[in-house]
Amino acid sequence: MVPAPERGMTILEQHAYAILVRHQGRGQAIGAGELARAIGVTERVARQVVKTLIEQHSAPIASSPHPPAGYYLPETLEEIRDTLESLKGRALSILTRMARLRRVALPELLGQLQMEIERDDAA
């Protein structure tokens, strides 16, 4: 059930994805450090590669901060739901910080962001 979104990937992205495909299910998660060593880059670069795989190539990569922490390809709906909940929590935390910095309520910030998105889409 694992798609192979290799079209348009760099060699580094292909290498990282080939490793991640072998880590199916949360119990087989691979940490950023281990992935970095496997592809010969720093942890920061490895995280960026994973981000690119997800955002630009639609790779179905999940992550968990709980042991065994790391990246993996989800095998169950529960693993997908857990990842979505984790992402939602992180997104809300970031949006709350943005609202505090702008000194507005979160709903007001969301309205402002919606207008910015619509403006960018129209451009």
pLDDT tens, position by position, 93-107: 999 999 999 999 999
47 and 83 in a single domain? The answer is no
Quote the pLDDT of residue 8: 87
31 and 55 in a single domain? The answer is yes
Percentage of residues in the chain with pLDDT exceeding 90? 84
CATH number at residue 68: 1.10.10.10
DSSP track, 16-84 = HHHHHTT-BSGGG-B-HHHHHHHHTS-HHHHHHHHHHHHHHH----EEESSSS-EEEB--SHHHHHHHH
In which domain, by residue range, is 112 found?
Answer: 77-122
Q: Is residue 11 classed as helix, strand or coil in its secondary structure?
A: helix
49 and 86 in a single domain? The answer is no
Which pLDDT band, with edges at 50, 70 and 90, does 1 fall under?
very low
Task: Convert the pLDDT of each residue in 50-83 to its tens digit.
Answer: 999 999 999 999 999 889 899 999 999 999 999 9
